[in-house]
Structure 1
Amino acid sequence: MRFMPIREGLSLTHYAVSVEHRFQMSPQRVYNLIIDMDEHRRILPRQFESLEVLEGGRGDGTVFRLTMNVMGNRTALVMTLKELEPGRIVQEQDGNAGITTTWELIPESEDRCILRLTSRFPDKPGFSGWVERLATSSMIRSIYKRELENIERYLSTGSAAK
């Protein structure tokens, strides 16, 4: 497991969960899937119950509601997508929940790339926060690995397992 404590400003402490996957396909093809919510919803693992586009639908400025259900704990986030570096870095953020997800595409060649998926979550204080961080990190990492595998499967075959 990889924990990366992060200090943002002087107020909140966050922790991060990160996974990455190497793709044998065009970086642009992978990037297009990430920023297109109609396509993106097709690769979400079963823990993601829905992705509802509220504004836009593709690229910078898209706003969407993402509903997750992990072990009976349902969470709804309203995420705003920003293309921090078009073609390479996308950020999704729910300012109210304090959750930020960053997709970083690292091109290796015209037909190979690494995709790194990192989410930052608010860190709750005390022992209960420590326990939550341990449990959440492991579960989220597993879900994200499935999501990256689904991207590969979808871009290779046109369908993805849930």
Structure 2
Amino acid sequence: MAQVEATTERIITADAETVFDALADYTGTRGKLLPEHFSEYEVREGGDGEGTLVHWKLQATSKRVRDCLLEVSEPTDGQLVEKDRNSSMVTTWTVTPAGEGKSKAVVSTVWNGAGGIGGFFERTFAPKGLARIHDTFLANLAAEVEG
């Protein structure tokens, strides 16, 4: 099985602390920002960064739905890591300052892909599809915090 990765980033006109706080707010802001690819969003434990347990379904394609149960940790300042209990998928959100009143938000998701021809197609197309979903989320995040 080969590892599959999808990474995208965006410069947001808001300070890094504001952006990170919005990302870490699973009980409030986070659910409002999810694109239409997400459903059944539910915070099961915690709700603010480290220690949060959140559930959602991610419909990456018309045929592929992932049932995700994510444990959230904050290994370093400005970083959230979401580890899916139901798969090998790990998403890392990193927010850093990017000049006066700006920040850079980077989201990277990795997982163990399938083998064979199915794995080839997954490695080829899944990162682009997930990057589009992440781009939409980051645009929603920017709209939320840039006001």
TM-score, with length taken from structure 2 = 0.92
CA RMSD of aligned residues (A): 1.4
Percent identity, aligned pairs only, is 21
Q: Partners of 1:110 and 1:65 in 2: how far apart?
A: 35
User: Any idea what SS the aligned residue of 1:85 has?
Assistant: coil
Q: Partners of 1:110 and 1:30 in 2: how far apart?
A: 14
Structure 1 residue runs of 4+, over 4 Å off?
none
Gaps of 5+ in 2: none
Q: Partners of 2:83 and 2:125 in 1: how far apart?
A: 22
Find 2:36's aligned residue among 46, 67, 70.
Answer: 46
Whether 2:4 is the aligned partner of 1:15: answer: yes
Question: In the alignment, which residue of structure 2 is the partner of 1:92?
Answer: 82
- Contact in 2 for aligned 1:50/1:68 (Cα 8 Å): no
Kindly state the Cα deviation for residue 121 of structure 1 after the two structures are TM-superposed: 1.4
Question: In the alignment, which residue of structure 1 is the partner of 2:71?
Answer: 80
Q: Partners of 1:67 and 1:142 in 2: how far apart?
A: 17
Kindly state the Cα deviation for residue 138 of structure 1 after the two structures are TM-superposed: 1.5
Q: How many residues align?
A: 145
Letter in 2 for 1:146: T
Q: Partners of 1:129 and 1:74 in 2: how far apart?
A: 16
Q: Partners of 2:87 and 2:22 in 1: how far apart?
A: 25
User: Any idea what SS the aligned residue of 2:98 has?
Assistant: strand
Measured against aligned partners, the alpha-carbon deviations of 1:16-37 in whole angstroms (never above 9, x if no partner) come to 1000000111111100011111
- Contact in 1 for aligned 2:71/2:84 (Cα 8 Å): yes
Gaps of 5+ in 1: 1-11, 158-162
Flag the structure with more relative contact order, 1 or 2, with Cα contacts below 8 A and sequence separation at least 6: 2
